[in-house]
């Protein structure tokens, strides 16, 4: 079974190559220039480009042709019998619609299973990696799909937004709310669950935001995977990881930059935690 995802999963190119994960890029535009998320610019280069650009970037989901190419390559004359395509929440992106449309255009659409993760960034990435691990061990399609669907309710994502400007441009909040938030130095703390974004709190400093994030993660209980993602905020991410290690000793914590598509929406300075709650005993 071939595992496919999109670049909003924030699975690094190195991990994708090692585990045999196909990553379909989302598109980010600076004016008329197209940047394929995860392919054309390294995260740091994108951060610098975004900071210097007078025009904010905009994003679009991958076209159907991108998925067709990946699916056909996986299924035509290869050792793969099926494709499991796991993607960013359909409530946040049209990516999964392209995946479904591409699958339906193939002669045997039944060989492709498309799953809406209800998540983004490494909240999606952890599930994709688990699926690839199982596929690499020779698990059946039914076993992998069953495990993926059991993992999704256990995924948790929280984030602190440093600036509200990009959420306004993306239509997520009203201009008035952003103006008031900027004047009051408000840092929203958000949660993503089942494709829904909710505001957990509003704080006025990064220090308080980190404390709120740590408090939320502590409330998750035992976790088997943790990732701290950042958008040009590496020192803040490192501080957040140190705070998490205080109550998760011995837990490996991935600290990594978010991709271009995620950063274009959340804005520079954002940090977040993506985790997978341990299975109940």
Instruction: Return the CATH number at 209.
Output: 3.30.1180.10
For the segment 95-118, the average pLDDT, to the nearest whole number, is: 96
Q: Are residues 118 and 179 in the same domain?
A: no
pLDDT of the residue at 281: 62
Domain final residue, candidates 127, 152, 177: 152
pLDDT of the residue at 166: 54
pLDDT of the residue at 177: 45
Q: What is the pLDDT of residues 225-248, one digit of tens each?
A: 999 999 999 999 999 999 999 888
Q: Are residues 126 and 175 in the same domain?
A: no
Contacts of 177 (CB under 8 A, 6+ apart): 164, 168
Whether pLDDT at 168 is above 60? no
Domain final residue, candidates 119, 152, 185: 152
Order of strands, edge to edge, in the sheet holding 27-30?
A: 33-36, 27-30, 58-60
Domain final residue, candidates 129, 152, 175: 152
Task: Please state the domain count of the chain.
Answer: 2
Look up the domain containing 270 and give its range.
Answer: 155-277
Whether pLDDT at 102 is above 80? yes
pLDDT of the residue at 265: 87
pLDDT of the residue at 178: 42
Q: How many helices (H) and strands (E) in the chain?
A: 11, 13
The answer to whether residues 152 and 274 touch, using CB atoms and an 8 Å cutoff, is no
Q: What is the pLDDT of residues 113-155, one digit of tens each?
A: 999 999 999 999 999 999 999 999 999 999 999 999 999 999 9
Sign (positive or negative) of CA dihedral 246, 197, 8, 257: negative
Helix (H) or strand (E) holding 1: none
What CATH number does residue 31 fall under? 3.40.50.10170
Cα distance between residue 248 and residue 152, in whole Å: 22
Q: Are residues 170 and 254 in the same domain?
A: yes
Beta bridge partners of 157: 192, 274
Q: Are residues 131 and 188 in the same domain?
A: no
Task: Answer left, alpha or beta for residue 179, where phi above 0 means left and psi between -120 and 50 means alpha.
Answer: alpha
Q: Are residues 48 and 102 in the same domain?
A: yes
Q: What is the pLDDT of residues 32-49, one digit of tens each?
A: 999 999 999 999 999 999
Q: What is the pLDDT of residues 174-195, one digit of tens each?
A: 433 444 444 346 788 999 999 9
For the segment 6-29, the average pLDDT, to the nearest whole number, is: 97
């Amino acid at each position: 079974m071939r595992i496919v995802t999109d670049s909003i999963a924030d699975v690094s190119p190195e991990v994708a190559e090692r585990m045999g994960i196909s990553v379909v890029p989302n598109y980010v535009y600076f004016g008329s220039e197209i940047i394929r998320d995860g392919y054309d610019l390294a995260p740091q280069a994108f951060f610098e480009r975004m900071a210097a650009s007078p025009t904010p970037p905009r994003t679009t989901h991958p076209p159907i042709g991108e998925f067709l190419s990946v699916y056909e390559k996986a299924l035509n004359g290869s050792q793969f019998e099926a494709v499991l395509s796991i993607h960013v929440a359909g409530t946040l992106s049209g990516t999964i619609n392209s995946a479904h449309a591409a699958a339906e255009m193939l002669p045997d659409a039944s060989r492709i299973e498309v799953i809406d993760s209800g998540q983004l960034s490494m909240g999606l990435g952890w599930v994709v990696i688990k699926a690839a691990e199982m596929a690499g061990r020779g698990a059946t399609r039914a076993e992998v799909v069953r495990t993926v669907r059991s993992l999704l309710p256990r995924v948790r994502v929280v984030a602190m937004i440093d600036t509200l400007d990009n959420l306004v441009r993306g239509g997520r909040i009203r201009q008035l709310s952003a103006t008031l938030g900027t004047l009051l130095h408000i840092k929203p703390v958000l949660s993503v669950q089942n494709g829904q974004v909710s505001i957990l709190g509003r704080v006025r400093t990064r220090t308080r935001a980190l404390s709120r994030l740590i408090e939320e993660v502590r409330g998750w209980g035992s976790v088997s995977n943790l990732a701290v993602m950042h958008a040009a905020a590496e020192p803040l991410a490192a501080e957040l990881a140190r705070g998490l290690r205080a109550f998760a000793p011995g837990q490996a914590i991935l600290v990594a930059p978010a991709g271009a598509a995620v950063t274009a929406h959340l804005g520079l300075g954002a940090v977040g935690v993506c985790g997978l709650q341990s299975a109940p005993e």
